[in-house]
Structure 1
Amino acid sequence: MASERITLTVPGPHGDREVGVSSPNRVLWPDEGITKHEYADYVLAVSEPFLRANGHRPISLERFPDSIDGERFFSKNPPKGAPDYVDQVVCTYNSGRRHPQVVMNEAAAVVWAVQMNTVVFHPWASLARDTDNPVELRIDLDPQPGTDFGDAAAVAPALRDVLAEAGLTAFVKTSGNRGLHVFCPIKPSHEFLDVRHAVIAAARELERRMPDRVTTNWWKEERGERVFVDFNQANRDRTMAGAYSARALPAAPVSTPLTWDELEAGVEPSSFTVRTVPGRLRELGDPWAGLQDAPGRVDTLLDWWQRDLDAGLGELPFPPEFPKMPGEPPRVQPSRARHPEA
């Protein structure tokens, strides 16, 4: 017996494409009964703002062959047999390796990714035309145990002010979980390591202003009940869930762009889901529609980075899978470090 399959008609810049979706009734989110077909309809409904935020850049696909409760894996290389409307670009990774990565430039490619069992889309901060130089400065506000989304929401406006002092315009979205993502459009004039240093400079300035609420400590044992500013998400090949991507969590939450007024008035991130976000877009539009209209520069933040270096504040730890970096402190948590005897 032939496997169950449907065909969706997907408009695009080159006319309509017919995209097949196999096993359309397979349930991806068991708690909500959301099927693969429903998720394909969702990405089609939000494809315009989705592509504006995530298209034309390398993207990693987090795929679930069964449901979000089952096996998952990340796919970077375009799978064999990918249709010709799924583009690719060769990227250089921190190890020096180079290989192709998926690029999505039209709605049919996003629906195809769902057909390939993608649930979460993880875009790079750089575009396919220049993968080495980010067009976004990205900051992840990560609530630690004892804190919650409300704590991140209280910190985010102060971060916006810090970034404004550095000449940058900040945009905000829910992470789809407990945190917030703050993005600033930037000119692609600096490579990833420079942008990471710019993020660290902003994070340190925020920490100075809110030491009881914000931390830049990489080691969890030192963070306390504060919001962690995850500077390492600014590294090459480190990604966050893209705007309008669902998350592999119960209730099918979506990483959703907000206005600053909405955030400060109070929002419940769990209200933004695969089933509610299309209606929100129809009613309110896309708060990130103008994100790339006026990109700024990271020069002031890099001046702050140098100021902090001159004051004795050095490099911060990199993720464990990265090669050892110049000036990096030892990669051992403080409680396990060997100390000379007093």
Structure 2
Amino acid sequence: MAAAKPVMVQAGDREVRVSSPDRVIYEATETTGEVTKLMVAEYFASVEDGLMRALRERPTALERWTSGVREGMKLATGPQDRNADAFYQKRVPKGAPDYLETATITFPSGRTADEICPTEIAVPVWCAHMGTLTFHPWPVRRDDVDHPDELRIDLDPQPGTTFGDAVRVAGVARELLADLGMAGFAKTSGNRGIHVYVRIQPQWDFAAVRHAAIAFGRELEKRDDGVTTAWWKEERGERIFVDFNQNTRDRTIASAYSLRPIAGAPVSTPVTWDELETLTSPSGFNLFTVPERLASDGDPWATIDDEHHSLQPLLDLWDEHPVELNFPPDHPKMPGEPPRVQPSKKVESHWDSDGNRIED
């Protein structure tokens, strides 16, 4: 059978060409219908207000599932995954349209890259044409790529915990933010977790923002014994992990209104705090339901840019207990960082006081 002809999708003031429009990206489930590539492109166009609030002027990596989402498919996370089905695109793909703008970012290694920087909805729609389901924006704007304007609190349920546990902890996080004089905005992760964003004044570097996230997590641990900041999985137990490293340079979180590569085409969806309190499952937020929700109720994050907070209250908490925690494994070893070895495998005599392995 001949391949379907490309289709033009209206995206703001532009028409964007989408090839293979009938390619199945998500198979039908018991509760949702089949999703084609054209439907993904039209979805992104339909949530312009919320999606562009999350992406505008931000360097953005793309999570590309060019063959669609199927059970057992794998996302590449490094050079060792050459045969994976999906991958992260951190540099501008070939064939990008002339209206697509970029931002130059620097990785922890010191290397640089020109990354997509969405300035209009036609860009995400073109990215859908390229197989993108999830957008991963940096917490910076392109006019200052070294000073984040977002603190990102990632509440990640560990085995043995539930979405309800994440909701409870998010409520505690809201109270803590209020005590610090900060306003947080919550969204579902698109799976079981919850993300809380705080707009901050862009005057601190990534190291300071990461320390603020650690301090926040430690304070949250004091208020709820179902919370942990333990980096090693074997130490987390059945608790909600505050992933402080999501605030490290070149670590990103799925944006608001991004699709997630899970059956049913779920969406990472902003919610009000009152709504979150009564939410028992995020499964109702998907490609089929979110556009109507946004059109009828508006974006719960509509006021997120109205105020940018000082990070100083959290940095004061860090100064009370400035003990470093592990960085991601692909990040250069940092001063004061604990040894990068699982606690159960650590032999104290093999490590010096600075966390460096002693060679035999």
RMSD of aligned Cα (Å) = 1.3
CA contact (8 A) 2:151 2:199 kept: yes
**Match of 1:39?**
40
CA contact (8 A) 2:108 2:332 kept: yes
Q: Aligned match of 1:327 in 324, 336, 339? A: 336
SS state at 1:74 partner: strand
Matched, 1:81 2:95: yes
Which letter maps to 2:255?
A: G
- 1:21-60 to structure 2, matched below 5 A, reads 21-31=18-28, 32-60=33-61
- 1:253-272 to structure 2, matched below 5 A, reads 253-272=266-285
Which of 217-226 and 163-172 deviates more? Answer: 163-172
- 1:191-210 to structure 2, matched below 5 A, reads 191-210=205-224
Question: C-alpha displacement at 1:49, in angstroms?
Answer: 1.2
**Match of 2:170?**
156
CA contact (8 A) 1:136 1:184 kept: yes
- C-alpha separation in 2, matches of 1:339 and 1:128: 44
Structure 1 unaligned regions, length at least 5: none
- C-alpha separation in 2, matches of 1:62 and 1:9: 22
- C-alpha separation in 1, matches of 2:294 and 2:66: 29
**Match of 2:356?**
none
Relative to the length of structure 1, the TM-score reads: 0.95
- 1:176-195 to structure 2, matched below 5 A, reads 176-195=190-209
**Match of 2:81?**
none
Q: Aligned match of 1:96 in 76, 94, 110? A: 110
**Match of 1:112?**
126
Structure 2 unaligned regions, length at least 5: 74-84, 351-360
Query: Cα 1:334–1:3, aligned 2, differ >3 Å: closer, same or farther?
Result: same
- C-alpha separation in 1, matches of 2:235 and 2:293: 39
SS state at 2:203 partner: coil
- C-alpha separation in 2, matches of 1:123 and 1:273: 20
Question: C-alpha displacement at 1:18, in angstroms?
Answer: 2.0
Q: Identity rate of aligned residues, in percent?
A: 51
Relative to the length of structure 2, the TM-score reads: 0.90
Question: For this pair of structures, how many residues does the alignment match?
Answer: 332
**Match of 1:64?**
65
- C-alpha separation in 1, matches of 2:196 and 2:224: 17
Q: Which segments of structure 1 move beyond 6 Å, counting only runs of 4 or more?
A: none
- 1:237-276 to structure 2, matched below 5 A, reads 237-276=250-289
Query: Cα 1:2–1:223, aligned 2, differ >3 Å: closer, same or farther?
Result: closer
Which letter maps to 2:43?
A: Y
SS state at 2:123 partner: helix
- C-alpha separation in 1, matches of 2:117 and 2:8: 22
Matched, 1:135 2:136: no
- C-alpha separation in 1, matches of 2:189 and 2:260: 9
* CA deviation vs aligned residue, 1:177-215 (integer Å, no higher than 9, x gap): 01000100101010111000001001000101112x000
Which of 153-162 and 252-261 deviates more? Answer: 153-162
SS state at 2:259 partner: coil
